Amino acid sequence: MDAAGILMLLCALEVVAAGAVNPCCYWPCQNKGVCVNVGQEGYECDCSHTGYYGENCTLSYFWTSVHTFLKPRPAFSHYLLTHYKWLWNVVNKISFITDNMMRLVLTARSSLIPSPPTYNSEYHYLTWEGYANVTYFTRLLPPVPKDCPTPAGTQGFKIRPNVTELAQEFLLRRTFIPDPQGTNMMFAFFAQHFTHQFFRTDFNRGPGFTKALGHGVDLNHVYGQSLEQQYHLRLFKDGKLKFQVVNGEVYPPSVKESPIKMKYPSTVPVEKQLAVGHNLFGLVPGLLMYATLWLREHNRVCDILKEEHPTWSDEQLFQTTRLILIGETIKIVIEEYVQHLSGYHFKMKFDPELLFKEQFQYRNRIALEFGHLYHWHPLMPDSFKVQDREYKYEDFLFKPDILLDFGVDTLLESFTKQRAGRIGGGRNINGAILNVAISVIEHGRQLRLQPFNKYRKWFGLTPYTSFQELTGETEIAAKLEKLYGHIDAMELYPALLLETPYQDGIFGESIVEMGAPFSLKGLMGNPICSPYYWKPSTFGGQTGFDIVNTATLQKLVCLNTKRCPAVALKVPDNGSSKSEGEREQTKMEF
């Protein structure tokens, strides 16, 4: 047992003797052991399936010790994967090695996420509700018991810092800090558009509940959250979605044509209120831009399937096209979006067959902690640049005119060139959206999230021993220590944003190591990735299967725009963008 374990054990024994505090509030069980109250004052640790044993699950079995000794530290693995580009250029050309590495990445990451799901926000112990009630977000770690002396268990102060003052001091932007990885606004809007299909909190019931009962990539933000919304969006001819033509190009229909309850202010004329699958996507033109691209892609694929299957009904064309677009989405997310976030030189690959011989469960539940981790509002700039115009927040929000007047092509070009903000390191959220961060912290407290270091431990990361170690500096660290009292009392969301970013990285170690398992498990746990679905017939034959297997962000754009502008999830650098001839060739091939 290490020094920290001994100290916790002594504290727990002292509390048991005094009979004053629930001993499980001291988190005496290590290595994912589960603390259970016994009698009036005692506790025991359930070490089942942890690889450890002993009173506090601190004694390791032989093979656990061997595995721990051989397993590289996450920081070392990250360094290796983000350096030695010449080596990875060679490795990426050897399919046998890359397939096995990708399989290892998927299995190792996914194994960190419990499946079936375990806890929800109502109970700090296992229940059937935690498994079966899909109206809840699941939880990786149970809530802190209500009878603990402090919000963090026993560490820190009984009263946490004022949330508004906390956000203003540590999260509010002073000067825009650009992301050193070159992340752009194409990425920022992609992230927002993509994740809002499964991060849909039901605030009428509380922050622990979700409206997105599909718990994954089902494209409800394209097709509507309910069957009623879907029917309002469908054309009911040739499998297509409703659309309107503006300036010779296809856009989503207005709410007059598709009476969906979108959230627009009364200042937006009804005929300009575009109807899409998510009622908040009228918020910014960047979200409507992606909604328009996927609408065009759906109808384009419908035309291809109709030509191949002239006898198919409208319903079969619609349903099969939806499966194809789900496949395209997952491929683009893994091979481009996650690839960019990782910063790895190892080339990631979407190939469901890599897992067919593994023990893998094709079911996913969105975790509450994943949603909190994913509030990446530092990405947003101080203003938005479209061609030669610059828009402040008040001039950019709820302005579908910007999309309709400039067109999709222009927005794609402009957002590809504009750099987004760095997520990690703190003090980089624009004041116009700081209220969102404040709400996230408030919800974390209401839901009694366990402290940041508890999540570090779960993901195999070494807990931080000081605020200075967390932030990498002294001024902010000293202020945090004064507010929280102890590093083990530090809250999850503020810690994620204040953690020292990797060198030239968009954020620090914790978001990488915590976010990747949630993301990859959710993507590969999709039903279309299972052996029963992953075959040509699911997608209407080989033609549809090929659309999925060859999908890229550039193709999505080229096949659904006039000019086929060069796009990427990072700002262009010399030689990084395809030439006009290459893009035209892409368009001709498909």
Buried/exposed code over 133-154 (b: 16+ C-beta within 10 A; e: otherwise)? ebebbbbbbbbbeeebbbbbbb
The two structure tokens encoding residue 243? 């659309």
User: DSSP label at 321?
Assistant: H
- Report the C-alpha gap between 397 and 469 in whole angstroms: 39
What angle do the packed helices 542-549 and 285-308 form, to 10 degrees? Answer: 150
- DSSP for 487-547, written as a single string: GGG--HHHHHHHSPPPTT-SS-HHHHHHHHHHHHHHHHTSGGGSTTT-SGGGGTSHHHHHH
Greatest distance between any 2 Cα atoms in the chain: 78
Neighbour tally for 8: CB within 10 Å:
21
Write the burial class of residue 532 (CB in 10 Å: 0-12 exposed, 13-18 middle, 19+ buried). exposed
Phi, psi of 97 (to 5 degrees): -70, -45
The three-point CA angle 433-444-463 to 5° equals 110
In the three-class reduction of DSSP (H, G, I as helix; E, B as strand; rest coil), residue 280 is classed as coil
- Report the C-alpha gap between 83 and 141 in whole angstroms: 34
Handedness of CA 447, 144, 469, 165 (dihedral sign): positive
Report the relative pairing of strands 384-386 and 389-391 from DSSP bridges: antiparallel
The residue behind tokens 């109970």 is 123
Handedness of CA 205, 208, 214, 219 (dihedral sign): positive
Report the relative pairing of strands 59-60 and 244-246 from DSSP bridges: unpaired
Q: Are 471 and 426 in contact (CB under 8 A)?
A: yes
- Report the C-alpha gap between 83 and 122 in whole angstroms: 44
Name the residue type at position 493.
Answer: Y
Phi, psi of 545 (to 5 degrees): -65, -40
- DSSP for 512-526, written as a single string: HHHHHHHHHHHHHTS
Active site residue 374: yes
Note the residue count of the chain. 590
- Report the C-alpha gap between 234 and 254 in whole angstroms: 13
Phi, psi of 252 (to 5 degrees): -60, 155
What is the number of alpha carbons within 13 Å of residue 516 lying toward its C-beta?
Answer: 23
Q: Which alpha helices (H) appear in 127-196, and where do they start and end?
A: 128-132, 163-170, 185-195
Handedness of CA 584, 585, 589, 590 (dihedral sign): negative
Q: Which residue is catalytic, options 123, 125, 196, 391?
A: 196
Active site residue 196: yes
| Three-state SS letters, 328-342 | HHHHHHHHHHHHHHH
Q: Which residue is catalytic, options 52, 251, 290, 374?
A: 374
Annotated catalytic residues are 196, 374
